[in-house]
A and B are shown apart, each in its own frame.
Chain A
Amino acid sequence: MSAEQGREQRTIRCLVAKVGLDGHDRGAHVIARAFRDAGFEVIYSGLHKSPDEIVQAAVQEDVDVLGISILSGAHNTLVPKIIEGLEEYNALSDTLVILGGIVPEDDRPELREMGVAEIFGPGASMEETTQFVRENAPER
């Protein structure tokens, strides 16, 4: 009977994170709303968070998806710190890390290698992003 008792109510949980000194959060707000409208549970970090704070929130909230928005160009500094932090808590393997913002083509391979699943630049559509999350949200 345990299967029925389970009656699983799985919902995709996302943390939309703004990290570092970058103060541009229009994009983060738009994506947070799009995720919400797609039926996800969205936790928004607020502005100017440190990598540690993002890691803490991702671990405590046990999110399936961590979406980092960076428009300041500091991705090569900040993203590795977040990835390391997740690894420290053994959380990287089942967290889908995606990146949004201005990330030059040259920087992308290294970020992907580190564990970033996808990078959404200017022009990426909401449908594309939510679809990607739906298809790639980790099985737990």
Chain B
Amino acid sequence: MALRAGRRLSWWGLLVPTVLLYALIFFVPLGVLVGESLRAGSDGPLSGVNYSAFFSDGVTLGIFLRTVRLSLLITLACVLLGYPLALFMRRAGPALRLVALAVVVSPLLTSVVVRNVAWLLVLGREGMVNTLLRQAGLIDAPLPLLYNTFGVVVGVTHVYLAFLVMPVFSSLLSIDPSLEDAAASLGASRTTVFWRVTLPLSFPGLIAGTTLVFVLSMGVYLTPVIMGGSFVTTLPMVMTDLVRNQFDWPRAAAFAIVLLAFIALVLGLSSRAERRIERMRGEGM
């Protein structure tokens, strides 16, 4: 008994370095942030005024909802592009798989500024796409591809695609092909096999991937500044301005906490969905 307790304790001991590190670089600053967010102005008295401002100042809530909308659009774009790609990678041979993976991951290895400026050259009014379309006689006036929501979705999807493809790909790989063969041998068409077998079995990866992309997109800052021409305003841009230009750190802290709480909620919902799927599968088998 004592031996087992001791062993369990030493297992917990493995956590110590991480817990210490997180306490130092995450939980302590987070505590400071919460403390700061409860002040009315720097060095002001305790108050919830910064939190109520989020909902009642007439602008911030709107920007937050637009940020959610933008993140949903990015997530949708990632699913539409990423899921077929992951399916392709599952079928492809090792060499092709490696090439596809390298292409998807490569944006993560480039600086965000370089990537965005390259997009400016492609999507700008005098950029590659518009020039080609105009020379082909398909359009008269340049299409507005940049400095709007479309531009931001393109720029962010380009990078975050990897975060969707990876989990979906690994969850597709773990599907036993004999399940699909079985469905086919029982008369299911290829589309039925996909909708009834492959897709549901890849849900854990899809949920993980979409959650990751959505959560990351909620914090996007530089791409809306460069490719959205600042007309696409996200909550992190509001917070940066509060810190940088208005010196209102308590309010920025409160907004950060609200964003964090929202993200925690999304993560909670996502892990609940994943658990439910696992339970359903357990019952089915």
* Genuine A/B complex: no
Binding site for B on A (CB under 8 A): none
